[in-house]
C-alpha cells in the first residue's frame, strides 16, 4: 500500500512514485501500474464542530465530480452528460471515532473508499484531490468543512470464483411493477427474488457497456445472504430504499472483479453498491471502521 500525504504537491507525488519504481521497491513495472489499477482510500478530518447530516451521499457525489473536473474537465463532462451507466462508486463515510450527537453524525476522522475499473478516472480523481484537499458538504443550510489528510492507494484484491462481499455503501436495485393499472418503479430488498435477477442483469449489462463486448461466461450467483440492513437514503428530492448486506457470490472471476471495482446494483456514482472483500476467515479487506449510514 502506498500513502500519499495530502500536503505534498502533485509534482512531489510523481517524484516519489518514480523513485519507488527506480529502486524496484514496489514490484510494479510502471508508475501507472502502481497508481491506476487500485482503489483509493481517503482519510478525511472534519474541521467544523457541527455534526454532518445523515443524508450526505449526494454531497459526496457532487464533491467527487468537482475534484474530477478540476483535473480532467473532458472526462468530467463526459460522465456528467452521459445518462447511462457510470463506472465508479464510493463508500459511506467509514467513521473511526464516533462522537454521540442527536443532531447528526459527529466525528473527528473518517475514511472514504473510491473504486473504479476506469484507469483515467482514478488518475484524474487523485490529481484533483491533490490540487485542493479541502471540501464542504451542505444540507438544509448547514455547511460542514473537511480536509483530506492522506490518500492510500490500496493493493489489488485477489478475486476467485467464490467471493464474500460486504457492502461499504448500500445496494440499490429497482424494478417496474403494475400499481393501480399503471407501471411504477419499485425499490427492491434482498427478500425479493427479483432483487437477485436484476442484480445479475444490471452487472452483465454494465460489463458489456464498459468493455464493449459481452462476457463469455456470465455466471454470477448469490449463494448466501446475511446481515441484511434495510436503509432509506435521500438522493436529491427522492428517497431510495436500499440494503447493507453480506453476500457470498459464485461465478466468473472477471465478472466478480468488475462488481468489486465498479460496484453492485444501480446508481453507483451516487454512492451505492461499493463492496469490500471478506476472506473466509472473516477478515475485512479495506477498512475496519464503522460505516456512517
Cβ proximity of 181 and 36 under 8 Å: no
DSSP state of 38: S
Distance CA 229, CA 219 (A): 26
Residue with cell 505534498: 8
Of 171, 115, 57, 125, nearest to 285 by C-alpha is 115
Q: Is 65 a catalytic residue?
A: yes
* 3-state SS, residue 218: coil
- Rounded to a whole number of angstroms, the distance between the first and last alpha carbons of the chain is 27
Q: Is 196 a catalytic residue?
A: no
Distance CA 221, CA 184 (A): 27
**Which member of 31, 65, 189, 210 is catalytic?**
65
CA dist list (Å): 58 to 1, 210, 213, 240? 29, 24, 31, 12
**Which member of 80, 82, 179, 217 is catalytic?**
80
Catalytic residues: 65, 80
Amino acid at each position: 500500500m502506498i500513502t500519499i500525504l495530502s500536503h505534498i504537491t502533485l509534482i512531489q507525488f510523481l517524484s516519489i512514485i518514480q523513485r519507488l519504481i527506480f529502486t524496484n521497491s514496489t514490484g510494479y513495472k510502471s508508475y501507472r501500474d502502481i497508481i491506476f489499477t487500485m482503489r483509493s482510500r481517503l482519510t478525511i478530518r472534519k474541521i467544523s464542530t457541527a455534526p454532518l447530516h445523515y443524508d450526505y451521499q449526494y454531497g459526496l457525489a457532487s464533491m467527487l465530480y468537482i475534484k474530477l473536473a478540476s483535473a480532467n474537465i473532458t472526462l468530467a463532462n463526459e460522465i456528467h452528460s452521459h445518462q447511462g451507466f457510470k463506472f465508479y462508486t464510493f463508500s459511506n463515510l467509514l467513521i473511526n471515532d464516533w462522537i454521540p450527537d442527536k443532531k447528526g453524525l459527529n466525528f473527528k476522522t473518517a475514511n472514504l473508499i473510491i473504486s473504479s475499473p476506469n484507469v483515467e478516472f482514478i488518475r484524474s480523481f487523485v490529481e484533483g484531490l491533490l490540487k485542493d484537499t479541502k471540501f464542504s458538504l451542505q444540507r438544509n443550510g448547514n455547511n460542514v468543512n473537511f480536509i483530506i489528510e492522506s490518500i492510500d492507494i490500496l493493493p489489488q484484491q485477489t478475486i476467485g470464483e467464490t467471493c464474500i462481499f460486504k457492502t461499504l455503501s448500500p445496494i440499490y436495485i429497482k424494478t417496474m411493477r403494475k400499481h393501480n393499472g399503471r407501471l411504477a418503479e419499485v425499490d427492491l430488498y434482498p427478500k425479493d427474488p427479483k432483487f437477485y435477477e436484476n442484480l445479475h442483469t444490471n452487472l452483465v449489462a454494465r460489463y458489456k457497456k464498459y468493455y464493449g463486448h459481452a462476457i463469455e461466461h456470465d455466471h454470477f450467483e448469490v449463494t448466501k445472504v446475511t446481515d441484511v440492513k434495510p436503509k432509506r437514503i435521500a438522493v436529491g428530492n427522492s428517497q431510495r430504499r436500499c440494503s447493507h448486506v453480506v453476500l457470498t457470490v459464485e461465478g466468473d472471476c472477471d465478472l466478480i472483479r468488475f462488481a468489486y471495482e465498479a460496484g453492485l446494483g444501480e446508481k453507483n456514482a451516487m454512492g451505492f453498491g461499493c463492496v469490500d472483500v471478506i476472506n473466509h476467515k472473516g477478515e475485512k479487506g479495506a477498512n475496519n471502521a464503522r460505516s456512517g449510514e
